[in-house]
Amino acid sequence: MDPTQSQQLAYIAGQAADARVNVELETDEGMVLNLGPQHPATHGTLRIVAKLDGELVIKAEPIMGYMHRGYEKLTEVRTYPQVTALINRIDWLGNFANEVPFILAAERLMDVEAPPRAQHIRTILFELSRISNIALFLGDMAVQLGAVTPVFLAFRDREHVLNQIEAVTGGRFHPNFDRIGGIKDDLPAGWIEETHAVMVKMRKFCDEIEDLVLGNEIFQARTRGIGVIPADVGLEYGLSGANIRASGVDWDLRRDNPVGLAWDKVDWKVWTHPDGDSFARYWVRLQETREATKIVDQLLDTMPAGPIMAKVPRIIKVPAGEAYIATENPLGEMGYYLVSQGELTPFRVKIRSASFSNMSIAPWVLQGTYVPDVVTILASLYFILGDIDR
């Protein structure tokens, strides 16, 4: 069979499989509503097939794979330094934060430790990517409810943070800046003062958002008591990050799982909220953004001097072994289970991405809600499609 023919067959088979899912859901009573894959509320190509009884969702089933890029397979044919260019694109808003756990896992197997200054700069860039990521959520969640202004504010102020990231790394979205043993470059002149000024702006942005959104009656009516996830269920589904902290679980990998970065050198607080609803998730993320600006400020003030790279061989071979490193990324726990067999390329990389587990609770939490709330609950769970599909 020639390749075009087999491609055509594969395409037809795919269509047929999609049709089967629809038929399967339609055979019982009730109406089927298809959200996506190109629906504005799914910001990406997530598709939710919801079976409705009137306005009530009886069953909701997310269907993924429209953006599956097979990163776990691709990492097996790339050398360690090449992998960071790839995994930048998993959660494209929290770009730098994706690189860090993988590099840490490789460093652990190689028994290399980055110098303090490199760890410091890593932590700062990590938190900057958190701020730029969550700032967009803070605007986006409001726009899902029909409030247009916050998203403009978010794009306006996020720009300052992206500029700072760009000034150091040269890339706004895909820095590819972290190296085994340290980081690529040192900070440019005057960057510390500029970043202090940006942090002041971001705190002002948080205040604005708090005034505009949190106190809004419509926002409260649409989010309070909607999409409640009890702590027990959340843990069972592997929910992490702000989603689980909004259910009252006081757990943050930055504090509880020190991996060598500089979070334990500064004074900050883990915010939790007891309610577990959409409002709590928004509230926790807002507080976290504020807290991140404080972390950045303190780290900038205590920047150690010294080298930014440890001594590593020019051609990197990672000794055989296995390591799992997870960090608290903007979306939640992001980890890499790295298996090395002493070669230039990883043997197997299991990417444990936050959104994948965070979204796996969607069928549970969407069941029994009303159609308009589907959009707010999905927005409050905050997923990035690249982080689900990988």
Partner 1 sequence: MSSADTETEGVTTDAAREAAVAEFAEALGDVCLETHVFPGVDCWIRVATDGWLQAAQVARHELNYRYIDFVSVIDWMPSPYGRDMDTEQDRDPNAVADVEAMQHGVTGGDTRMQAIGRVHSLITNIGVNIKCDIPDDTLTLDSWISVFGGVNWHEREAYEMFGVAFTGHPGLRHLYLPGDFEGNPMRKDFPLLARRVKPWPGIVDVEPMPDTGDDGGGES
Burial class from Cβ neighbours inside 10 Å (0-12, 13-18, 19+) for residue 48 reads buried
Least separation in angstroms between residue 375's CB and partner 1 is 21
Q: How far apart are CA 390 and CA 84, in angstroms?
A: 14
Q: How far apart are CA 67 and CA 76, in angstroms?
A: 19
Please list the alpha-helical segments (H only) found in 265-384. Answer: 278-301, 354-359, 362-366, 371-381
Least separation in angstroms between residue 300's CB and partner 1 is 19
Query: What number of helices (H) and strands (E) belong to the chain?
Result: 16, 8
Nearer to partner 1, 277 or 389 (CB): 389
Only one residue has tokens 């001097």, namely 305
Only one residue has tokens 């799914």, namely 42
Least separation in angstroms between residue 209's CB and partner 1 is 30
Nearer to partner 1, 114 or 326 (CB): 326
Nearer to partner 1, 20 or 224 (CB): 20
Measured CA angle at 159 (ends 294, 243), to 5 deg:
55
Least separation in angstroms between residue 54's CB and partner 1 is 26
Nearer to partner 1, 77 or 305 (CB): 77
- The β-bridge partners of 174 are none
Peptide bond into 37 cis (omega under 30): yes
Least separation in angstroms between residue 271's CB and partner 1 is 17
Nearer to partner 1, 141 or 323 (CB): 323
Nearer to partner 1, 269 or 350 (CB): 350
Least separation in angstroms between residue 121's CB and partner 1 is 18
Per the CB < 8 A criterion, the answer to whether 60 and 87 are in contact is no
Per the CB < 8 A criterion, the answer to whether 233 and 223 are in contact is no
Least separation in angstroms between residue 350's CB and partner 1 is 5
Q: How far apart are CA 221 and CA 214, in angstroms?
A: 11
Residue 352 Cα to chain centre, angstroms: 11
Chain residues in the site for partner 1 (CB under 8 A): 10, 13-14, 16-18, 20-21, 64-65, 68, 70, 72-74, 76-79, 82, 108, 232-233, 235-239, 249, 251, 256-258, 264-265, 320-324, 326, 333, 335, 337, 339, 341, 343-345, 348, 350, 352, 356-357, 360-361, 364, 389
In sequence order, the 6+-apart residues with CB closer than 8 A to the CB of 204 are: none
Nearer to partner 1, 73 or 224 (CB): 73
Peptide bond into 304 cis (omega under 30): no
